Amino acid sequence: MIETVINLQRKKQLEKLIQSVDIEFSDFELLDEAFTHKSYSNESKGKKDNERLEYLGDSILGLITSEYLFKRFLDYDEGKLSKIKAKVISESALFQIAYTLGLGSYLLLGKGERDTGGAERKSNLANLLEAFIAAIYLDQGIESARNFIICYIKDIIDDLDKNILIKDYKTILQEFCQKKFKVLPEYRLTSENGPDHNKQFKVTIFINGKEYYSGMGKSKSKAEQSAARDTLCKLNVVKL
């Protein structure tokens, strides 16, 4: 028989949780289920674990993240949007959100799982966050789930967007040159200094034979990215 009632102490714990994340919640049995690991369910006959909620939460997280990226980055193609999304919904990113919120301290675990650090295990916390998202959705609706998700993924997306842009400077410059000048940029290695373990490379960009900017780096690739970035700035393609 499935347990349908949680005790007063547990309810007070969960009330503290929802206050800490500033959301409303009505069905505390559902919330308790979201915070019940399979190991605890196995030791407590009839108690539901959070795996079904995790399944639902994964889909909700994917949908809302996709929608947010689609509306925010109007000029990004499918490849770049997918690249950001994959990072945002990765186990590492979800773990970091759950850990920051302290969700692990509310997770019900079996003795063995608890004694081996299950409350801080990356996979447990990532799965827990997805189950929590599903519970918010079922109890409060899609708008509450959306607000909760965006609140915690926005900063991650901001950082990822900057990093992905940095990685794509060469691609951006290539596409710009093909469209504007009908040629590809040329990267020339103009100097190489330092010992083998600490080389410094200097790469200079030429477009249609005209010299633009040079970039320095500990590898040719990093020097090329640096040169591409500065050239894009000179051409007013990007602003830093």
Residue 155 scores a pLDDT above 90: no
The pLDDT tens digits for 98-135 are: 999 999 999 999 998 888 888 889 999 999 999 999 99
Encoding tokens for residue 215?
A: 């970039």
The pLDDT-based confidence of 75 (bands split at 50, 70, 90) is confident
Q: Are 62 and 153 in contact (CB under 8 A)?
A: no
Q: Both 58 and 141 in a single domain? A: yes
The kind and range of the H/E element at 153 are helix 142-167
Q: What residues make up the domain containing 141? A: 8-161
pLDDT tens digit sequence for 208-223: 999 999 999 989 988 9
- The predicted pLDDT at position 168 comes to 72
58 in active site: yes
User: pLDDT over 70 for what percent of the chain?
Assistant: 94
From 32, 33, 49, 58, active-site residue: 58
167-196 pLDDT, tens digit each: 578 888 998 999 999 999 999 999 999 888
* Cα within 13 Å of Cα(1), Cβ side: 3
User: Looking at the domain assignment, is residue 115 inside a domain?
Assistant: yes
| CATH number of the domain that residue 79 is part of | 1.10.1520.10
Residue 4 has pLDDT above 60, yes or no: no
> Would you say residue 1 lies in a domain?
no
Grouping H, G, I as helix, E, B as strand and the rest as coil, residue 65 is: helix
Last residue of a domain, one of 161, 194, 209: 161
| Count of domains forming the chain | 2
Looking at residue 2, what is its pLDDT? Answer: 43
Quote the CA–CA distance of 238 and 233 in Å, as a whole number.
5
Strands of the 186-193 sheet, one edge to the other:
186-193, 200-207, 210-217
Residue 3 lies inside a defined structural domain of this protein: no
Q: Looking at the domain assignment, is residue 100 inside a domain?
A: yes
Average of per-residue pLDDT across 2-26: 86
- Give SS3 for 208: coil
CB of 162 within 8 A of CB of 84?
no
pTM for the model: 0.68
> Looking at 107, 127, 161, which one is the last position of a domain?
161
Average pLDDT, the chain: 90
With respect to residue 144, please indicate whether it lies within any of the assigned structural domains. Answer: yes
Whether 109 and 125 map to the same domain: the answer is yes
158 pLDDT above the threshold of 50 = yes
What is the average per-residue pLDDT within 75-89? Answer: 88
In this prediction, residue 73 carries a pLDDT of 86
- Residue 96 confidence (pLDDT): 93
130 counts as catalytic: yes
Pair (137, 203) in one structural domain: no
Question: Which of 97, 191, 198 has the alpha carbon at shortest distance from 148?
Answer: 97
* Average of per-residue pLDDT across 153-176: 78
Q: Which of 113, 130, 139, 224 is catalytic?
A: 130
Q: What CATH number does the domain containing 183 carry?
A: 3.30.160.20
Q: Are residues 30 and 123 in the same domain?
A: yes
Residues 95 and 19 placed together within one structural domain of the fold: yes
